[in-house]
């Protein structure tokens, strides 16, 4: 006997196809980058989404979580796995906190829309919205995804502008070289001398420049003085050679460290002269 329910229409007998069961994958993502400090934690996203699933009687078949940036397409292992599972039919819908959890780039957003067009992804549900395979809802999804990408691009531009302004003010981004310390005081980040290391760095330059000491001899002498890196370990000969060839110690730095990158005059106190 045929298991397909049938209905009669005129003289024809047509199959009465049941609506497909919507099977959800709950997806939560949190980037470790500063740009997403305001996003809910993964645990908070899971808690909120589980409450929505219970409230709306949603059929969640699996959960996927990852801590990864969504700036670039195809770079998230768990997201890529979820896409393959959608294509294989393991589930056909996604439950997530916000559209920007799924994508902050055009490539991944396009993949999701293509899956909708192929009827492999029948619904994306967030905490306050639902997107199905209808022109208006897909268009709204693409707008929200594009907005997330725009915000991401603007943040990147602002970060680069902030770094450039800091360099122009004479403050090198990142961790200061040995002999100096990073200091954050009253909202100002600057670089000051390390009282425990700066004098020994000066002496190391003098021994190399005036007395022609080798890197190995300088290392032996620094070890005798109890000189260590910030981890409390003696520095290697290669680290000494890096120190002796770093312009930062005479007041100049390049950022980023690339052949065509600009040079800046540091606002920090030089330990040695360029000569």
CA–CA separation, 172 and 268 (whole Å): 9
For the cut 50, the answer to whether the pLDDT of residue 10 exceeds it is: no
pLDDT tens readout for residues 41-70 = 899 999 999 999 999 999 999 999 999 887
Radius of gyration of the chain (CA): 29
Mean pLDDT along residues 140-159: 73
pLDDT tens readout for residues 191-228: 999 999 999 999 999 999 999 999 999 999 999 999 99
* Residues near 213 by beta carbon (within 8 Å), at least 6 away in sequence: 207, 221
Residue 260 phi/psi, 5-degree rounding, is: -100, 10
Q: What pLDDT score does 34 carry?
A: 47
pLDDT of 2 reads 34
């Amino acid at each position: 006997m045929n298991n397909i329910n049938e209905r009669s229409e005129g003289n024809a007998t047509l199959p009465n196809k049941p609506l497909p069961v919507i099977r959800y994958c709950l997806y939560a993502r949190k980037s470790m980058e500063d740009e997403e400090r305001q996003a809910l934690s993964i645990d908070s996203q899971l808690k909120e989404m589980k409450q929505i699933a219970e409230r709306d009687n949603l059929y969640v078949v699996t959960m996927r979580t990852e801590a990864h940036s969504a700036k670039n397409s195809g770079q998230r292992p768990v997201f890529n796995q979820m896409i393959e599972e959608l294509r294989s039919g393991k589930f056909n819908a996604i439950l997530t906190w916000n559209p920007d959890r799924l994508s902050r780039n055009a490539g991944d957003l396009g993949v999701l829309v293509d899956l909708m067009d192929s009827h492999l992804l029948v619904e994306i549900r967030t905490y306050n919205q639902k997107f199905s395979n209808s022109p208006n809802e897909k268009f709204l999804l693409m707008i929200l995804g594009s907005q997330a990408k725009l915000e991401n691009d603007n943040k990147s531009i602002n970060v680069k502008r902030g770094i450039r302004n800091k360099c122009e003010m004479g403050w090198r981004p990142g961790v200061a070289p040995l002999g100096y310390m990073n200091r954050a005081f009253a909202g100002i980040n600057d670089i000051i001398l390390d009282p425990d290391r700066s004098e020994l760095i000066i002496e190391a330059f003098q021994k190399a420049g005036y007395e022609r000491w080798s890197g190995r001899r300088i290392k032996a002498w620094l070890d005798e003085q109890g000189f260590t890196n910030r981890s409390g370990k003696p520095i290697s000969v290669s680290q000494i050679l890096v120190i002796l060839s770093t312009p930062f110690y005479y007041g100049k730095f390049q950022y980023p460290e690339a052949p065509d990158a600009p040079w800046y005059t540091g606002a920090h106190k030089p330990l040695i002269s360029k000569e």
